[in-house]
Amino acid sequence: MENYITKRLALILALLMLLPLCYFSHEAKADTLSPLVDRSEELNVTAVIEINSPQNTTYSTREILLNFTLVYEGQDYDVGYSVDGGAIQRIQVSKISEKPAPYLFMPPYVRVTCRGTIVLRDLSDGIHAIVVYGGYYYGGINQRFEVFKRASTNFTIDTVAPNISLLSPETKVYNISTLSLNFTVNEPVSQLTYSLDGQKNVTISGNTTLTNLSYGEHNVTVYATDEVGIIGVSETISFTITEPPEPFPTTLVVASVITVVVVGIGLIVYFKKRKH
């Protein structure tokens, strides 16, 4: 019995030594894996792929870290990834653990956990999709990448500041002390503020009103912070507030008219008397 167990253990150790190792590359030089034969839906394999980064969120950089974990049993997997439906690029992974499988005396003997990491560069602004594939790559006449497991994630890149169009006030002279501050922004924002005459920013929820403006020159600037923290700045509009014009002197005009009428009547009476 002891000889049997010893032989079994020796066989297991020999098989473990023959298992190919996973290799690590922080930025792997990837080959293209094609054509794709996706069997992930039809096969019930125990492998697991979990994408740790990027998350389904918005990033303010065009360099994104792809980081994922792969758990499989038995023969080492070929692993690839694609961005926005493009070619599947091979990525090498690093082994972080290797444990006996639950069924020790039957293949596949060990359960391996690996991690893959690569930096995706020069991504454009907008929505992107990443898919990570695990399977076996076969060369030769029947070349193919047979996929058993896959995982995907979507994310957005936004590196452009919000664009603010300031509609009012305009660069001109006003004779009123209350003006509307109206503007438009080309994307959703998390915060809006404005600064009048270089003073501390005032938080607003949208278009607002500038009140109690003193006589003289003024300027106003609007700021918009988008959902990833990028701040857009409007042009600075300068305008002038002056005193309202004096009201038209209607009393004086009426008095003058009355005077003219009275004088006119007096002259008429005078000339009539002289004729008689």
Structure tokens at 113: 């956990």
2-157 topology per CATH: Immunoglobulin-like (2.60.40)
* Res 270: pLDDT: 55
Rounded to whole angstroms, how far apart are CA atoms 63 and 272? 104
Q: Residue 59 pairs with which residues in a beta bridge?
A: 157
Residue range 164-241 in CATH 3.30.2020.30: no
pLDDT, tens digit, 9 for 90 and up, residues 115-157? 999 999 999 999 999 999 999 999 888 899 999 999 999 999 9
Classify each residue of 127-163 as buried b or exposed e, where b means 16 or more C-beta atoms within 10 Å of its C-beta: ebebbbbbbebeeeeeebbbbbbbbebebebbeebbe
Residues 6+ apart with CB under 8 A from 189: 162, 224, 225, 226, 227
| Range(s) of the chain covered by CATH 2.60.40.10 | 2-157, 164-241
Q: Residue 182 pairs with which residues in a beta bridge?
A: 168
Report the SS3 class of residue 267.
helix
Rounded to whole angstroms, how far apart are CA atoms 87 and 106? 37
Give the global pTM: 0.68
pLDDT (tens place) for every residue of the chain, 276 residues total: 555 455 455 444 444 444 443 333 333 334 899 999 999 888 878 889 999 999 999 999 999 999 999 998 877 889 999 999 999 999 999 999 888 766 655 565 688 899 999 999 999 999 999 999 999 999 888 899 999 999 999 999 999 999 999 999 999 999 999 999 999 999 999 999 999 999 999 999 999 999 999 999 999 999 999 989 999 999 999 999 998 887 766 655 555 656 655 555 655 555 566 555
